[in-house]
Structure 1
Amino acid sequence: MHRPRFLSGAIAVAAASLLTSACTTGSGSSADGGGAGGAQGGATVRLALTSDVTTFDPIRQQAASDYVVGRLMYETLVGQDDGGAIVPRLAGTWEQTPIGVTFTLKKGVTCSDGKPLTASQVAASLTRYRTISAGAAMTFGPGNTGAGTTITGDDKAGTVSIELAAPWGELLPGLANSTTGVVCSPGLTAGDRLGTGAVAGAGTGPYELVGAERGSAYELKLRKGYDAWPQYAAMPAGRPAGTLRVSVVRNESTLANQLQTGAVDFGAFTGPDAARFGKGGFRVEAAPLIRNFVAFNQREGHPGADPKIRRAVAQAIDANAFNKVFGGTGQVMTSYVDAKAPCVSTDPSLLTKTDPAAAKETLEGVKIKLVGSNAVGQGAGNTYVQEALRAAGADVQLTNADNGTWATQVMGNQGDWDLTVFPMIYGQLARGGVHFIGDEPADGRNFGAVDNKAFLAGYGAATTTVDQKAKCAAWQKAQKALLQAGDVVPLATVNVHYVFREGVSATIPAGAFDPVTLRIAE
């Protein structure tokens, strides 16, 4: 049995970790904080989000603020810490097999109306998620959709059991996602009201929504007696906020000004304003936000169908130079995910070495249609790739599209493209790997029509075992096959920079800020 170990459209989802600012005001709250964060709630904390809340229903989350506010209101059974470690949230312990898992809920866990959270309520909430959510297939496994997954709750034993028809070793990481946040019975019968605001008694998270001015401001209060805090390896000292006031602020320069003048105590930045905080009473922590790599359209008639051209493209591009385009603060990658991912390949010998002269022998005169999203640094990385390929003799036509157009043309397979700089927000091998296996859009996610049987075999072996040693061994073989075939060209991450003023802290598990862990020093 596991015991608690005290050990974290595409661009819109990536912004889920971008809680833009926080400041302490007012006096302490009388609400109890409990758990690892301290005995009672502390002062009011103001949070500024980069976008407005689009829904309060956890299974329909899609924008930055949805994920942050949803995490505060609806708790998941487990969380994911650095290195992929699974840690307790609502569940205290669990037993896992390749075809399922049984959770034992923590004692005394309640819904937001103070009534006990029962195992059958958890089962009903997860069944709703399995039935409705578009992401359920990646949580329970592609072979376990529909009737392939059975979820039951035993109220007397306090256990929730998930049984799968086919083995799937990524079930626990999937259940750590905030979209699986547990909704109590009042929310399950509320219909569309769950998405439009607070439903009394629906919540399982530490905070309740007590005020909402759509498009402008939200207020959340800490629940009295809440004691189901996540158990990360590094929990900050201090008290949780008694009150959270959330506003919508879109300009990072304005937020940086407020942080420097003492009006706010925490900010998250993706742009150049992060450079203001290298010293002087601030702590800065950088974490990967977007993992960039070059991917190819490998359908017949496109240059990417030829492995020699894929290799030449890799020879023409310098990942270090790509990183410098974004200020050099990212992490040069050795796979399609960054180095924080469990089981990631870090073997540089599997990468094609930069060699522009050799690339020119193959790329001279080759026509390439490069399509990229301008949502990341206004498309500066796309422009670098274009110039690198042009220097190697290729005739490159660049389309620097908005993110929606890029997604339609490349991910939706409705455009004429040869290469793309793919801005992936997933930090897990399994979730990212679905782009290189299976059906093409719209039936699947294999947007480049990759046919790499060795990668597919490794992916299958890695995702159907719960033995970590066997899982990593399979992932190493899978990544080797993908890299040696030139199906992806790893580039570098674009980071988010979290800036804390003294007195405010939070945990950033696996590079993603968890607002539940925001604490104010005693």
Structure 2
Amino acid sequence: MRTPTARAAAVVAALGLAATGCAGGGGTSAGGGRGTVTIAVSADPGSLDPLNALSSTAIFMNGFGYARLVQLGADGTLVGGVAERWTAGLTSATFTIRQGVTCQDGSPLTAEDVAAEYNHIGDPRNASPMLGLSVPFTAKATADPAARTVTVKTARPSPFILQMANLLPLVCRKNLADTKALSRTTAASGPYRLTEAVPSDHYTYVKRPDVTWTPGGADMSAAPDKVVFKVVTNESTAANLLMSGQVNLVQLNGSDRQRLEAARVAHQGIRTVIGQWLFNEAPGHATGDPAVRRALVTALDLAQVGSVASGGRNVAPTNLGETAPTPCPQDSVTGNVPGHDPARAAADLTAAGWARSGGQWTKDGKPLQLTVTYPTTLGPRVTAAVELAAQQWTAFGVKVATKTVTPATVTTVMGSDGWDVAWQPIVVNLPDQLVRFYDGPRLPKGSNFGGIDNPDYRRLSGQAMAKLGTAGCPLWTQAESALVKRLDVVPFATSEETYYGKGVTFRLDGAGPLPHTLRRTAG
């Protein structure tokens, strides 16, 4: 498989093909006891290189090994981690580094180390997929060792520069020369260090002593002394291991959830957008016409399609894919997606110059036909949902062909003219990270797959970029609503990914259970 460029890798992550984002859940870290916690993970993490790993398993596991400057709390507000205080403007942020922070070899993690990491990722020549995700484009950092401060400056507005720091795993400067050496080990700045790595079987992390720079100063004395990640690729097997006490924590998406819930196993649910239509609006595609998009959407029973995709647990989305905790939780979707109405769909097509004859819609002698793409990585339920949508469109009089995409082919396919409609949830952490997908040039110069040209979105997102942090949330919400109202993007389904635990308590964020909240209990 070819090595992706920084842009392509970040695109793959946002498309949910590599790093799956999850919405935040509730729960507390009450409880005591240390001991060992065993967590079942559904796939081997691959490389654990903290500056390049994009698989969801690797991101989850790296949260145990690497500290962050700040952490987003359950309500979306920032709490301190390695940074004890911070200030920010639209084009700069300054973090004051706590005294006493160390890497696992005992060397101090300094302001100079943090600045070096920002500059390493910010240099496009290093092709880090973290650029644009945890480090703003154009970022350059300087350190003041005496003041223990790191100042990050950008050449253009970066309204969520503080929140992005929540996504940056910190490494000591000496490790930047060869981060690939960390693919099967850690240079831990966080509460745990990797002591054993057996690919496709298990990974063992041991708690570091005296780590005090946890989010909000959380006390790690009662945290597990050891955390073992056990690779279990079959969900039913993972559920059986949980019930028998061989693992303490599993994340399930399928039918095994019902039997665990019937057994009253404690659980927390998290949600992420799993169903979202994106239309190709480039010249030569019928889907460039708003009337055609509206007809295609209203011809579908989206509630039924979403139910199939989510295993009967669909809850309508309220945003375009920002994972919780998000700084902008306002609803941009409700009321903006038209309901199921085939008669209205037919009227819209007729008004746009299409005619139905012999069960097929045509215009100027050409049939209305669609190539619909969908990712194989979202599993069999999404495949079944795409097939159902294709059946409904076919019954309505549209010719439909389906095409799968993989992490290796997604940028090639989506950057071509070989598709009309994509089942393509785009998962990000912050609203400004959506702009490149819904405005600007298409691939290879940009990431606007659908060639969307929505003046209201451009205007409102531009105004939002001039507001720092949550001050811009009303504008970001309006900008997203502009996309949904024009049916450039149609989110319609979320999937509940549920964590089940026996003998543990924890709290969730977008990557999974937070290390500083994990506690062993009786049971």
Indicate the TM-score class for this superposition, using the shorter chain for normalisation: 0.7 to 0.9
> Given the alignment of the two structures, is residue 345 of structure 1 paired with residue 331 of structure 2, yes or no?
yes
What is the correspondence of 1:251-400 to structure 2 with a 5 Å cutoff? Answer: 251-325=234-308, 326-337=310-321, 340=324, 341=326, 342-346=328-332, 348-361=334-347, 362=349, 364=356, 365=361, 366-378=368-380, 379-399=383-403
Two-structure CA RMSD over aligned residues (Å): 2.8
- Aligned equivalent of 1:445: 447
What residue number does 1:26 align with?
Answer: none
| 2:173 alignment counterpart | 185
Residues 15, 435 of structure 1: alpha-carbon distance in 2 compared, 3 angstrom cutoff: closer
> Offset of 1:269 from its aligned partner?
0.7
Determine which structure has greater relative contact order: mean sequence separation of CA pairs < 8 Å that are 6+ residues apart, divided by chain length.
2
Match of 1:375, SS? helix
Match of 1:519 in 2: 519
Residue 169 of structure 1 is matched in structure 2 by 159
The match for 2:146 among 142, 151, 156 is: 156
Q: Provide the secondary structure at the position in 2 that maps to 1:104.
A: strand
CA drift of 1:457 comes to 1.8
Q: Verify: 1:136 aligned to 2:131, yes or no.
A: yes
Measured in 2, the distance between the counterparts of 1:277 and 1:108 equals: 43
Partner of 1:474: 475
Q: Over residues 99-134 of structure 1, what are the superposed CA-to-partner deviations in whole Å (9 max), with x where a residue is unaligned? A: 111111233222212333211111112222222313
2:419 aligned residue (403, 417, 420): 417
SS in 2 for 1:298: coil
Q: CA deviation at 1:390?
A: 2.3
- Report the Cα offset of residue 284 of structure 1: 2.1
Is there any run of 5+ residues in structure 2 with no aligned partner, and where?
1-11, 362-367
- Structure 1: where are the runs of 5+ without partners? 1-8, 19-35
Deviation, structure 1 residue 343: 4.4
Structure-1-length-normalised TM-score: 0.84
- CA positional deviation for 1:500: 1.6
Q: Structure 2 vs 1, CA of residues 323 and 83 (structure 1 numbering), >3 Å: closer, same or farther?
A: farther
Q: Deviations over 1:470-500 (max 9, x none)?
A: x122113212321222111221112211112
Tell me the distance in 1 between the aligned counterparts of 2:190 and 2:483: 40
Inter-partner Cα distance in structure 1 for 2:196 and 2:406: 33
Q: Contact 2:41 / 2:229 at 8 angstroms: preserved in 1?
A: yes
For residues 203 and 328 of structure 1, do their structure 2 counterparts lie closer, same or farther at Cα, with a shift above 3 Å needed?
same
Give the TM-score normalised by the residue count of structure 2. Answer: 0.84
One-letter amino acid of the structure 2 residue matched with residue 391 of structure 1: A
**Does 2:48 match 1:56?**
yes
Distance 1:456 1:231, change over 3 A: same
Corresponding position: 1:13 with 2:1 = no
* Cα distance in 1 between the residues matched to 2:335 and 2:44: 45
Mapped to 2, the partners of 1:58 and 1:511 lie a distance apart of 14
Moved more, 100-109 or 356-365: 356-365
Tell whether 2:460 aligns with 1:458: yes
4+ residue segments displaced more than 6 Å: 36-41, 235-238
Aligned CA distance change for structure 1 residues 318 and 135 (closer, same or farther; 3 Å): farther
Does the 8 A contact of 1:294 with 1:420 survive in 2?
yes
Q: How many residues align?
A: 481
Query: Distance in 2 between the 1:50 and 1:397 partners?
Result: 31
Quote how far apart the aligned CAs of 1:468 are: 2.2
Q: Distance in 2 between matches of 1:359 and 1:476?
A: 27
Task: Encode CA deviations 1:322-370: one digit per residue, 9 max, x unaligned.
Answer: 2211222132124423695424434633222321111133275221221
Secondary structure of 2:387's counterpart equals helix
- Aligned residue identity for 1:520: R
Deviations 1:214-259 (A, max 9, x none): 3333222111101111239xx8998211112223221111001111
- The question of whether the paired residues in 2 share the 8 Å contact of 1:12 and 1:64 is answered with no
Q: Secondary structure at the match of 2:106?
A: coil
Query: Using a 3 Å threshold, how does the CA distance of structure 1 residues 182 and 205 change in structure 2: closer, same or farther?
Result: same
Residue 430 of structure 1 is matched in structure 2 by 432
Identity of aligned residues (%): 26
How far did 1:312 drift? 0.9
CA shift, 1:40, in A, is 9.5
Letter in 2 for 1:449: G
The answer on whether the counterparts of 1:57 and 1:194 sit within 8 Å (CA) in structure 2 is yes
Once the two structures are overlaid, the 10-residue window that deviates more, 510-519 or 478-487, is 510-519
1:291–1:426 CA distance, 2 compared to 1 (3 A): farther
Once the two structures are overlaid, the 10-residue window that deviates more, 291-300 or 211-220, is 211-220
Match for residue 113 of structure 1? Answer: 105
| SS of the residue 2:109 aligns to | coil
2:35 counterpart SS class: strand
How far, CA to CA, are the matches of 1:82 and 1:318 in structure 2? 34
Contact preservation (8 Å) 2:371, 2:418? yes
Paired residues of 2:405 and 2:413 also in contact (CA < 8 A): no
For residues 122-147 of structure 1, the C-alpha deviation after alignment (integer angstroms, 9 at most, x for no partner) is 11122222223133134444xx42xx
Describe the SS at the equivalent of 1:262.
coil
Q: Residues 38 and 329 of structure 1: is their aligned pair in 2 closer, same or farther, counting only changes over 3 Å?
A: closer
Counterpart of 1:223 in structure 2 is: 208
TM superposition shift of 1:314: 1.8
Aligned partner of 1:79 in structure 2 is 71
Whether 1:509 and 2:513 are equivalent positions in the alignment is no
Change (3 A) 1:40 1:374: closer
